[in-house]
Amino acid sequence: MSPASLTMKANTLGNDCDKSVQLWKGKCELEVAKQNCFRVIKDHLQRLSFLPHLPNTNGVKEFLSQLKQPTANSSASEICGNSEDCGTLDLSGLNLCCNFSSKSVLDGTWLVLQYRGVEKDVTIQCLEDISLQGTNEASILDALVCCTESKHEIPSYQIIGDNLDLNVKVRHMDSENKNKSFHWFNLVAFKDQVSGSHLPDVH
């Protein structure tokens, strides 16, 4: 291979080499975000245990159908729509015992998730997962437990690297055509086949 061809190959070496790793990383980050979303929903609903009843999965499906309509806005979104003080709003004061309809509870849950910084797409995916659990009359807390138990543990990973040195010597050297020395550090990401995150961090 000529030095020119080798130089051209070296310049294109590594293009999109991390594409599959980025896709895997995105899936891992989504699973972490969904686990956080499930945790926030569970904590919020457990604080509402004093209500006569909590929404069922059928109520979650109806809430999602209204949420996906382009002109539909939940009342929780309307509360914060034009308010500059939404960031300091005490959300716990909104959960009144006299207001325990399925839609009001889900609106309040949606508002809590927005306040905690959970992205809308992640929230919708979590609510879709909840709505698919059990029967239509299943409690949202029971469906939530099924979702968290059915989630596989996110695999851990290791990043391993090594130096990569390449010297390209030209046959006829001039001011524009000189010897080239490439010094790279090659990184490879490996998924751990077995996760040890559940083990204690002691000898």
Q: How far apart are CA 13 and CA 11, in angstroms?
A: 6
The pLDDT of 18-34, averaged and rounded, is 82
**Range of lowest pLDDT (22-31, 39-48, 79-88, 181-190):** 79-88
The pLDDT of 178-199, averaged and rounded, is 80
How would residue 194 be classed by pLDDT, with cut points 50, 70 and 90? Answer: confident
Percent of the chain with pLDDT over 90: 0
pLDDT tens for each residue of 141-152: 888 888 777 655
**Range of lowest pLDDT (22-26, 79-83, 174-178, 187-191):** 79-83
Ordered by start, the domain boundaries in the chain are: 23-150
C-alpha separations of 85 from 114, 119, 121, 136 in Å:
14, 20, 24, 37
pLDDT tens for each residue of 73-121: 544 444 444 444 445 555 555 555 555 677 888 888 888 888 888 898 8
Q: How far apart are CA 90 and CA 70, in angstroms?
A: 29
Asked if 40 and 113 count as a contact pair (C-beta separation under 8 A), the reply is yes
